[in-house]
Amino acid sequence: MIKTMKPWIAGLCAGALAALAGPALADYPEKPVTMIVAYSPGGGTDTAARTIAKYVEKHLGQRLVVENKPGAGGQIGFSALARAATDGYEIGFINVPSIQLVKRLRDNVPYELSDFQPIANIQLDPVVVAVKTDSPYQTLSDLLADARERPGEVNIGADGPQSNNQLQLAVAEDALDVDFNFIAFDGSGPAVKATLGGEVAASLPSLSSAASHVANGRIRILGVFARKRNPQFPDFPTVSEEAGVEVPSVGASLRGIAAPKGLSPEHLAVLEKAFAAVMEDPEFLAHAESAGLPLEYMNAADFSAYLADAETQLDKYIDLIR
Amino acid sequence: MLENMILGLGSAFQPEMLIAVFLGVVGGVVIGALPGLTSTMGVALLIPVTFSLPPQVGLAMLGGIYCASTYSGAISAILLNIPGTSASVATMLDGHPMSRNGEPGRAISLATFASAIGGVASVAALLLLAPQLAEFSLRFGSPEYFLLAVFGITVIASMSSGAMEKGLIAGAFGLILSTVGVHPLTGTMRFTFDMPSLYDGVPLVVALIGLYSIPEVIDLVKRAREEHGNDARVDASGFLAVIPEILRQKVNLLRSSLIGIIVGIVPGVGCSVGGFLAYDAAKRASKTPDRFGKGAAEGIVASETGNNAVTGGTLIPLLTLGIPGNPVTAVLLGGIMIHGLRPGPELFTTNAEITYGFIFSLFLSNLLFVPVGLVIARFGLRIVQVPPAILAPIILALAVLGAYSIRASLNDVWIMLAVGALGWGMAVLAVPRAPLVLGLVLGTLAEGELARSLALVRGDVSAFALGLLTRPISLVILGLCVFAIAHGILQHRRNSKFLE
């Protein structure tokens, strides 16, 4: 008797709890949700954040207000997100692997990766190998051959220092057993400019910042650091297939949504559903395509798994760029 | 191409374009005139608004803000001795003395018309020569940037107005301050005291607010009991009276416009440097350089023509190559991309109506900020008559608000106050503050580019030196540096002899 009653009582209690909590949760969100962006207004991350904020409103039922907390390579904004309220009204836009690199390469960074609850990944922007159109390097093999002939003398530019691009270069050098002369630039844009001006032999920008120059016929892509070819750019080979060696794509830059740890599962479900819906919204997809945003959706579980995997990868590679 | 231009001209005069330009210009003048509100912020805040507008209308509005705010920093520089933006620091050197001499209206209208002329000249360069000039910007490599920064630093002599030694000390201190933060190539932290607010270096706008606002507030408080000399009665006709005076300075206008455009084409240098270099060139070319720093009209005209000529220049690499030259154009790039437009040749062919419509709207913006600026300045002139006891707290409040709002950070307010204390000390000791700003602006550029130039030759100093002497553009800038330093020393000697 008691045995049969237990689930019944539990069910009743759960029902009563649900009935009590029901109205409050059903109303979430009742007011605009703030989204912390750890970079300045107008940058790539900010543009992506504002674009998604605009289109998610319809699916969330409330406005998503972008709040820029730029500075210190994202550290200020990421730290603010880690300490933000867990009531579901403060979420943030996080950049992977920047959020991990900042933590590992600096002292006294006041957050742990476990302080964040991933909600959804929005973008995945791989690192590419770019040369200018009239470069003597026709394929990645040409570039690698030259680098092996003159170890440490071929200049490669990229955003840096301590960026995801530099990380990708270090991983590639390790996997392919070559040694380039890394030149840090103040962002992917200046690195591409130096490539166009012939100041560096090649550069390692993000795919999104190289794409328009490819369309203009100013640069060529020798390879993309990715597991498989990009459906948007099926002509660009991956580095692994060109080199014949598996090169991990840990440098790829992800942009996703996260909340501070402690967000209730109910709020997480509401947010996850809204972002899943916006990633299928034809208006948003059309806008993202015309603006060249490299979308890649992951739900909360997949995004968490990606982060965990990136952590183990970083254990292996972090010393290469320290 | 002509066909495309006519198409663009037609679209620039659509009613919605005119409204967008007008709103952008009014917003821009206000943003620029208030210290602490920057053009970058204005443009960034408006980008979400321009989402829903047709691309050329949105761009026209952003362009209006950019042009107008670059100009209107001069208003507060002249009236309050506080630069509204870093671009107006050189304007202040003569603008504020002229205002103090009882001619604030004349100073403002000189600045206004000069800005418009510089702006229009640079948009003309953008319209007619963009592809050719874009190729030039690509030939600018790290060694050229480094030398350009060094050349900029030689301008300290002109900024010091007679107090050469003090100016050099201030400039050197600015250079030292510019080393705070992450090293641009190695990522090493320097002088950051574990404060994340300092990782990116001493924030320029925050420092600027402190350096000029705080000493002004203290000065006003000291004067609060004295009767305030409000001899600033200026009627609107006075504004137009300067037109013949400006038109007489043909050479100055041409030279300053060219300097501004060239600085603009080179990505990463910025409006303030255009103003500084143009001011310096005007002073060197002047037969009476002694009047500079004491309210010389040529100084105001040169600085304002120079800094506004940068605006059109920066758009050349932006539109043709997709390379932004300063934070504002970086934000503009985001605004262009968000409409699905890609910088490059197709912007001038497939999307010609949008692009040329935007370019022609920039002509309108540069002309429209003249009446808008003068109307706003007419009210602004009353600031000079506001009793110090009221003005001082207002300026202090604006300074705190401005410093806070840039990154929503209270730490920036403390940095602002600390730099303010430094600025007050400098004011008391009559140390010129402009060289410090110059050092802070150019130090980061000089250090980063020197490190990068050396990294490119793997630290081989002789290869680096050979590069400086064999690259044509760097050779020209090197020549300019040598000339500037030699000229400065000779003039200093001559002045000293004259005094004896």
Q: Which residues of chain A have a CB within 8 Å of the CB of B196?
A: 71-72, 75-76, 79
Confidence of residue B498 (pLDDT cuts 50, 70, 90): low
Biggest CA–CA distance in chain B, Å, is 68
* A195 shares a domain with A89: no
Q: Output the domain CATH number for residue A184.
A: 3.40.190.10
Among B330, B338, B458, the residue with its CB nearest the CB of A43 is B330
* CB < 8 Å from A in window 352-411 of B: 407-409
DSSP class of residue A218 equals: S
Query: A-B interface: how many C-beta pairs under 8 angstroms?
Result: 148
In a domain, A284, yes or no: yes
* CA-based nearest residue in chain A for residue B454: A183
The rounded percent of chain A whose pLDDT value lies above 90 is 72
Kindly state the average pLDDT of the residues A98-112. Answer: 93
ipTM for this prediction = 0.84
Most confident of A31-40, B376-385, B405-414: A31-40
Among A42, A71, A186, the residue with its CB nearest the CB of B43 is A42
A156-172 per-position pLDDT tens digit: 999 989 899 999 999 99
* A233 shares a domain with A140: yes
Q: Which residues of chain A have a CB within 8 Å of the CB of B186?
A: 161, 184
- Per the CB < 8 A criterion, the answer to whether B101 and B114 are in contact is no
Among A42, A51, A73, the residue with its CB nearest the CB of B330 is A42
Confidence of residue B346 (pLDDT cuts 50, 70, 90): confident
Q: End of a domain among A193, A223, A243? A: A243
Q: For position A1, what pLDDT does the model report?
A: 40
Q: For position B237, what pLDDT does the model report?
A: 54
- Per the CB < 8 A criterion, the answer to whether B256 and B281 are in contact is yes
* A151 shares a domain with A79: no
Q: For position B195, what pLDDT does the model report?
A: 86
* A204 shares a domain with A65: no
Q: For position B52, what pLDDT does the model report?
A: 74
Query: How many angstroms separate the Cα of A130 from the Cα of each of A183, A205, B319, B346, B493?
Result: 14, 7, 21, 21, 53
For every residue of A134-176, DSSP letters joined together read T-S--SHHHHHHHHHHSTTTSEEEEE-SS-HHHHHHHHHHHHH
* A239 shares a domain with A132: yes
* A258 shares a domain with A218: no
Full-prediction pTM beyond 0.90? Answer: no
Q: For position B292, what pLDDT does the model report?
A: 92
- Structure-block tokens of residue A71: 């500075």
Q: Across the interface, do B344 and A40 touch by the CB < 8 Å criterion?
A: no
* CA-based nearest residue in chain B for residue A107: B194
Q: How far apart are CA B191 and CA B198, in angstroms?
A: 8
Q: Across the interface, do A46 and B330 touch by the CB < 8 Å criterion?
A: no
Radius of gyration in angstroms for the set of CA atoms belonging to chain A, rounded to a whole number:
22
* A120 shares a domain with A258: yes
Q: Which residues of chain A have a CB within 8 Å of the CB of B58?
A: none
- Per the CB < 8 A criterion, the answer to whether B382 and B77 are in contact is no
Reply yes or no on whether the pLDDT at A311 is more than 90: yes
* A113 shares a domain with A139: no
Extents of the domains making up chain B: 2-499
Q: For position B307, what pLDDT does the model report?
A: 94
Host domain of residue A95? 32-124+252-321
- Single out the residue of B47, B343, B407 nearest to residue A50, CA to CA: B47
Among B141, B200, B332, the residue with its CB nearest the CB of A199 is B141
Residue B22 C-beta-side C-alpha neighbours within 13 Å: 8
Confidence of residue B44 (pLDDT cuts 50, 70, 90): confident
State the best of B39, B45, B321 to mutate against chain A, taking most chain A CBs within 10 Å. Answer: B321
Q: Which residue is listed with tokens 């040529």?
A: B298
Q: How far apart are CA A49 and CA B223, in angstroms?
A: 49
Q: Across the interface, do B342 and A215 touch by the CB < 8 Å criterion?
A: yes
Q: How many domains does chain A have?
A: 2
* CB < 8 Å from A in window 300-359 of B: 321-324, 327, 330-335, 337-340, 342-346
Q: End of a domain among A222, A243, A264? A: A243
Q: Across the interface, do B196 and A72 touch by the CB < 8 Å criterion?
A: yes
* A133 shares a domain with A120: no
Q: Across the interface, do A72 and B200 touch by the CB < 8 Å criterion?
A: yes
* A110 shares a domain with A76: yes
A200-219 per-position pLDDT tens digit: 999 999 998 888 788 888 99
Q: How far apart are CA A307 and CA A12, in angstroms?
A: 38
